[in-house]
Structure 1
Amino acid sequence: MSALSKTSITAVLGPVGEDLATQIVSSGANERELFEAKAWLDNDEALHDELRTFPKGRVAELVELISTFDPPPEDA
């Protein structure tokens, strides 16, 4: 898989700032790893399930980066 671009990051996460996009690209992760990190964060049960281990490697790095991200508020 090829390296991530701002376009592919936005397709997975929605709008993100340049700083976060740069950090994600710099991680060297690919799109599959970004999808996996987002899925792990989106699955509330996974965060509370003691039997499920925290991701490793680049996926873990992405989870940490994305978890600090505040998405822009949606238009009401």
Structure 2
Amino acid sequence: MQRVTRDDVIKAIGPVDEVTIAEIIGTGATADELAEAQAWMVNDEPLMNEGRPLASGRVRELIDILAEFESSEDEDGKAASPATDGQV
């Protein structure tokens, strides 16, 4: 299997900062492992129902990186949203 490339990362998760790309590539993961990590991120219940063991190794590393990326993306979005003054 070939290791994931910068282009693979961008195709898989969209626009992302260079640090995150470097972290993902640095895991030595393949495109299949990146896809598996994304599947766990989206919804882990079906994977567990299939009897799959919890993610480990490079897939676990990728999940941690993707979770951190999503967390920072959420914080950026919240900071940019206008205040509502408690009105709904």
With normalisation by structure 1, the TM-score equals: 0.78
Q: As a proportion of its length, which structure holds more helix?
A: 2
Percent identical: 32
Following the alignment from structure 2 to structure 1, what is the Cα–Cα distance between the partners of residues 8 and 41? 18
1:1-76 equivalences in 2 (<5 Å):
1-43=1-43, 46=45, 53-70=53-70, 71=73
Stretches of structure 1 lacking an aligned partner (at least 5 in a row): none
1:16 CA displacement: 1.0
Following the alignment from structure 1 to structure 2, what is the Cα–Cα distance between the partners of residues 42 and 68? 14
Task: Indicate the structure (1 or 2) with the bigger Cα radius of gyration.
Answer: 2
Following the alignment from structure 2 to structure 1, what is the Cα–Cα distance between the partners of residues 12 and 26? 17
Q: Which runs of 4+ in 1 moved over 2 A?
A: 51-54, 70-73
Following the alignment from structure 1 to structure 2, what is the Cα–Cα distance between the partners of residues 5 and 12? 11
Aligned residues: 69
Amino acid at match of 1:4: V
Following the alignment from structure 1 to structure 2, what is the Cα–Cα distance between the partners of residues 3 and 12? 14
**CA spacing shift, 1:53–1:20, aligned 2, 3 Å:** same
Stretches of structure 2 lacking an aligned partner (at least 5 in a row): 78-88
Alpha-carbon RMSD across the aligned residues, in angstroms, is 2.0
Following the alignment from structure 2 to structure 1, what is the Cα–Cα distance between the partners of residues 21 and 39? 18
More RCO (CA 8 Å, sep 6+): 1
Following the alignment from structure 1 to structure 2, what is the Cα–Cα distance between the partners of residues 61 and 12? 16
